[in-house]
Amino acid sequence: MSRSPIRDLLVGVFVLSGLAALAYLSIELGGAAYSGPGGLTLYANFDEIGGLAKRSPVVIGGVKVGQVTGIELAKDGSFRARVKMDVDKNLKLPDDTQAAVLTQGVLGNQYVGLSPGGSDTFLAQGGEIAYTQSAVVIERLIGKVIQSLGGSSNSSGGGGSGDGGKAPSGGKGS
Amino acid sequence: MFELVRDVGWRTIENVHGLGGITLFGSRLVYETLVPPYRLRRVIDELYNTGVLSLAIVCTSGLAVGLVLGLQGYNTLVRFGAEQSVGAVVGLSLVRELGPVLTALLVTGRAGSAVAAEIGAMVATEQLDGLRMMSVDPLDFVTQPKALALALAMPLLSALFIVFGLFGGYLVGVGLLGVDAGTYLSSLENNIDFRNDVLGSLLKSVVFGALVGLVATWRGYTSAPNSAGVSRATTGAVVQASVATLMFDYVITALWGVGV
Amino acid sequence: MPDRGNSRVDVVSVRLAFGDRRVFDGLSCRFSQAKISVILGASGVGKSTLLRLMAGLQRPNYGDIWIGEEEISRLPERQMRRVRKRLGMMFQGGALLDSMTVFDNVALPLRERTRLREKEIAERVHAQFEAVGLKRVDSLLPGELSGGMKKRAALARAMVTEPEILLIDEPFSGLDPLAVRLIEALLVEVNHTKGLTMILTNHHIGSTMRMADEVVFLVDGAAISGTVKEIKESPDPRLQRFLVAAGTGPALEDAS
């Protein structure tokens, strides 16, 4: 064993630079303001969630505050999507907060954007966000454009060409 | 015809035998790693041999792959008007797949083959028998430090590969093709998630490191004690470790992506 | 030299085959305590294998191998390690670890087996170097040594733990006639001063006849044993053929 101190130094440099690289990847790139279960569970029903998936971010004003932890069909028979979210438990969200499914850029990932309201009562653990705005699905948009361009003879309301889902109900959809 | 069937049967038995052999060997390695003496001095020496000496090839390859990814990524994305996402494309490809897998293949070729050859040569020149006669277990003294060093070096090398690759993508994307530096970096940062991507990448590289460590030392240890045996052990180690890496890559990708 | 019990080696009715190749078929021989015994025979007859059997590096298919009062052929590896404390082995190529200096190589058994401090270890290693006639080799690597020096270093390593029984595989292979004489003298001196049981394999007739107290000639899977005188005068035709071919008949000159 040639116990060269230079070798040891190089090994040390190697290990440190490797760890530094790992740290950079984990913290700089991977990490965010939100890194673990926040503790506050909230629910929201949407007509359409588009490409929203488990672990999609929940964002307020562009800052990540939580993530989607569950998506299932609502059990009240309304065929809406029930989204379960886990957000930072220190947040005091008024109960008239609105949740919208938005897209990063034009073709990016979907996320839930929260716009806090002005009410004095706050959402509690397991609270329900009443005001929701569904995702915009490009295909439906195109379908509607085609429909409105081409079909003045197809003037039966709702249904119609290319529009597979039901028309949004008033007040809460888009 | 009968010959063929018999041949298949024989090869199957040999393979199962080999599988049993490597499993026993592997468990002994793990045991010796956990049990003193820890031989830190030798592990550090081996880290030099496997890690430091692989730095050159890993970093230059990382840079090269990053350059290519930047170029290819840009060329493809530009068709969809999405060239701003080139950072994400380069980053995700590197972190999730190319980093751990390519690093593993490179290290297998460079350090894995060297380890197998070294151990094989020691078998051929009776050095391992010499150790046994001195009441030293060659598994503990020789193979365990080498296997451990390979397993430890892999994630570090993989991280360095990725970082150099990201830099390569930056050089091409920002330097050459005019993507805005801030856009590149934010596209990178916004799309790489620690739990999904980085952690999975880390897990892969650790598993690959252990695989290469196990296969290379085992092939060397069980090689026939002559020069033909050593060369067979070396090439066999590279092939087996590479194939195992690729197969485990699929398994981990599938489980990691689905399970969470 | 404290008498730590019987350091005689007995091989009793050993049978060993590698696949279809039968190496030993009922081999029995004895290697007496404190004597220099040489295992003689044609190439490939199994001299090194016999040595390995006694070292526990090879197990026989059948038969017993006794080191003193202990039968070792079926001992598990852990027990074998204990028995090996009484043995020292010098391998044909030296079998020194390439990646370590000569000093570290010879110090290894002490570092691994004893709890001596570095200072004491250095003393013992240097004493061994002197005993075998090596100078200024401490920081050389085995690859930098000549053939003769490698053998001496290997001997130093085998001796540094003060074994009772020394197993030596082809000590004279690859050496020029002068080096052969030197190593021969060294081995004889070690035997006389330390009273070790020494078992060598050799196909160098001259040195065998000069140094051996007992000769074990391997042929056809079995052994013909005797003193040098008995071997030379043996009526066995195979032995006669071997001796004649090697250039030493009954009327032998000092051939080497």
DSSP strands (E only) in chain C: 9-18, 21-31, 36-40, 62-67, 70-71, 87-90, 165-169, 197-201, 214-219, 222-226
Nearest CA in chain C to B121: C98
Q: Which amino acid is at A145?
A: V
Beta bridge partner(s), residue C14: C27
| Chain A residues close to B63, C-beta within 8 Å | none
Residue A173: what pLDDT? 41
Q: 3-state class of A61 per DSSP?
A: coil
Residue C37: what pLDDT? 92
Query: C229: number of CA atoms within 13 Å, CB side?
Result: 0
Q: Which of B127, B114, B96, B69 is nearest to B219 (CA)?
A: B114
Per-residue pLDDT tens digits for B94-139: 998 999 999 999 999 999 999 999 999 999 999 999 999 888 889 9
Q: 3-state class of C93 per DSSP?
A: coil
Contact C15, C63 (CB under 8 A): yes
Per-residue pLDDT tens digits for C106-155: 999 998 888 888 899 999 999 989 888 888 888 899 989 888 889 889 99
Q: Do C91 and B134 count as a contact with CB atoms less than 8 A apart?
A: no
Kindly give the confidence (pLDDT) of every residue in chain B, 260 residues in length, as a single tens digit, with 9 standing for 90 and above: 788 899 888 888 888 887 888 888 989 888 888 887 888 888 998 999 888 999 999 999 999 999 999 999 888 988 888 887 888 889 889 998 999 999 999 999 999 999 999 999 999 999 999 999 888 889 999 999 999 999 999 999 999 999 999 999 999 988 888 888 888 887 887 777 776 788 888 899 999 999 999 999 999 999 888 889 999 999 999 999 999 999 999 999 888 765 44
Residue labelled with tokens 């030296």: C94
Q: What is the mean pLDDT of chain A?
A: 76
Contact B135, C85 (CB under 8 A): yes
| Chain B residues close to C161, C-beta within 8 Å | 134
Q: Which of C192, C235, C185, C190 is nearest to C210 (CA)?
A: C185
How far is B244 from chain A, CA to nearest CA, in Å? 24
A 1-40 near C (Cβ less than 8 A): 1-2
Nearest CA in chain C to A1: C100
B 82-141 near C (Cβ less than 8 A): 121-122, 125-127, 129-137, 141
How far is A1 from chain C, CA to nearest CA, in Å? 4
Query: How far is C222 from C212, CA to CA, in rounded Å?
Result: 19
* pTM summary value: 0.77
Tokens of A130: 């009443």
| Chain B residues close to A25, C-beta within 8 Å | 95, 159, 162-163, 192, 198, 201
Q: Which amino acid is at B73?
A: G
User: Does C95 contact chain B (CB < 8 Å)?
Assistant: yes
Beta bridge partner(s), residue C90: C168
Of B156, B188, B194, the CB nearest to A26: B194
Contact B57, B110 (CB under 8 A): yes
Query: How far is C145 from A126, CA to CA, in rounded Å?
Result: 79
Residue B82: what pLDDT? 80
Contact A110, A134 (CB under 8 A): no
Tokens of C132: 């075998």
| Chain C residues close to A1, C-beta within 8 Å | 99-101, 104
Query: How far is A46 from A80, CA to CA, in rounded Å?
Result: 6
Query: How far is C60 from C17, CA to CA, in rounded Å?
Result: 8
Contact C57, C72 (CB under 8 A): no
**Integer CA distances (angstroms), B90 to A9, B192, C178, in order:** 33, 11, 69
